Structure 1
Amino acid sequence: MTRTPQRPAACLFDLDGLLLDTEPLQGRAWQEAARQFGAELSPGQLRALRGRRRLDCAAEVLRVLPDGISVEDLLAVREPIAARLLPQAPAMPGARHLVERCRDLAIPTALATSSAAAAVAIKAAPHPWLDLITLRVMGDDPELLKGKPAPDIFQIALERLGVEAPGAWAFEDSVAGSQAAHAAGCRVLVLAPPDADRAAYPAGVVWLTSLREIDLG
């Protein structure tokens, strides 16, 4: 168990790859869309998309597509694929228990996800326990000017919770998300994917192999 030295003032959660095992499905949706335009995304290119907003991901994918294809063209193909795949995503081991434990201990929580509200609704629908996280800062939040790895999304969540960054625990999996949480001043706990390049993550993060390791007391 990873026991916290003291209970956090708040827990801030990423969604994709942290609470829900969506990353393989997200990557598959981008890959299938790219293939329809005659391109193939490498494993490294797919990893680079993790934790980032949809429009930021689309801009990256456009780099490998033939000229003349717009973001709108790409998303028109990709979004129906994602909408079909993402409801299949299971909860990550220990995710539900951790969120419920925060409720039981009256620890404030927030979702800080690069996914847009419509995508969150699709992914969360099979998992009603996610409704326990009532504060949600999502990728299309009107106050969010820059997506991860910029710290904005965590700064907004902290402000809305009324919590100072040093007392908050941010749970992440991606490099971009970890960089964002670290830049916001949070303590960062990383559920690293098996293929993670740990050298790319900020120094001082707490490494997890499962959310089941967290013991809030």
Structure 2
Amino acid sequence: MASTRKFKPVTHVIFDMDGLLLDTEDIYTKVFEELVAPYGHTFDWTIKARMMGVTPQEGARYLIQKLDLPITEEQYHEWCAKRYAELMPTAKLLPGAEKVVRHLHKHKVPVGLSTGSDAEKFNTKTTNHREFFKLFDPLVTCGSDPEVKHGKPHADAFLVPATRFPDKPDPAQCLAFEDSPNGVDSALNAGMQVVMVPHPKLDRSLCTKGTLVLDSLEDFCPEEFGLPAYDS
């Protein structure tokens, strides 16, 4: 049965990656748990929620200061890079991710990507999904893109990819997809509607700002935003 919900129609779509398209959040959790455990700390979802969506540099500064870790940012990045290289290539696409992206691409809806990762980490994470990620244009790696002056929750992470679509749409014409509170704030600050698909363990009190909040990308109905409906 067709959905009766209606939102402002859009023409372009910009996706986050970690925790939305790729199942990397549990890998991040494992890595950070391993990092802080030797110093007598626990990495929980209160801390994780604050780190989701930010650049690697901002995440490092926050975690080191929050837990008063006796390590430098350089040591943090070196240790994490080693574990990411071992674990991130195993990340799988989340349910509904391939369906929605390939559907939009098939119907010639421009789809972009904005990830807090830098280019190197993006390449590691997408090792087994190269063809899928070729569908995104533009593709912005906020952690290493010189035009992204400020990471999420600032607007740069979504304004920059919007300007890189060939027809340079108004941000209001773009629909953002996010899983993190920082990412949702970034999209809203950019003047976009945003569909939030949070991790099941994320505190639901942090999931109230999205234009639409879904349990899974499988629940997304494109026609609610004026996009082509799925083929029956």
TM-score by length of 1: 0.92
Distance across 2 between alignment mates of 1:210 and 1:201:
14
Q: Greater shift after overlay, 31-40 or 82-91?
A: 31-40
What is the CA–CA distance in structure 1 between the aligned matches of 2:215 and 2:73, rounded to whole Å?
35
Q: Distance in 2 between matches of 1:55 and 1:130?
A: 24
Q: Aligned residue for 1:134?
A: 137
Distance 2:121 2:19 in 1: 14
C-alpha contact (below 8 Å) 2:198/2:207 kept by paired residues: no
Alignment of 1:147 onto 2:151: yes
| 1:208 lines up with 2:214 in the alignment | yes
Letter in 2 for 1:215: C
Q: Structure 1, residues 32-85: CA drift from partner, whole Å, max 9, x if none?
A: 122345543233112321111111110111121444x21001111111011111
Q: Once the two structures are aligned, what percentage of the paired residues are identical? A: 28
Q: Show the counterpart of 1:83.
A: 85
Structure 1: gaps of 5 or more residues: none
Q: Residues of 2 paired with 1:121 and 1:4: CA distance?
A: 37
Q: Secondary structure at the match of 1:144?
A: coil
- 1:214 Cα shift? 2.1
Contact 2:45–2:201 (Cα < 8 Å) also in 1: no
Q: CA deviation at 1:202?
A: 5.5
The alignment status of 1:183 with 2:186, answered yes or no, reads no
**What residue in structure 1 maps to residue 49 of structure 2?**
47
Superposition deviation, residue 198 in structure 1: 3.5
User: Which secondary structure state, in structure 1, belongs to the residue aligned with residue 134 of structure 2?
Assistant: helix
Runs of 5+ unmatched residues, structure 2? 223-228
Q: Any idea what SS the aligned residue of 2:105 has? A: helix
Are 2:198 and 1:192 aligned? Answer: yes
RMSD after superposition:
1.9
Distance 1:43 1:202, change over 3 A: closer
User: Under a length normalisation based on structure 2, what TM-score does the superposition of the two structures give?
Assistant: 0.86
CA contact 1:22–1:86 (8 Å) conserved in 2 = yes
Q: Which residue of 1 aligns with 2:34?
A: 32
Q: Could you say if the C-alpha distance between residues 208 and 8 of structure 1 is closer, same or farther in structure 2, counting changes exceeding 3 Å?
A: same
Q: Structure 1 residues 26, 153: closer, same or farther in 2, change over 3 A?
A: same
Give the SS at the match of 1:132. Answer: coil
Give the match's secondary structure for 1:189: strand
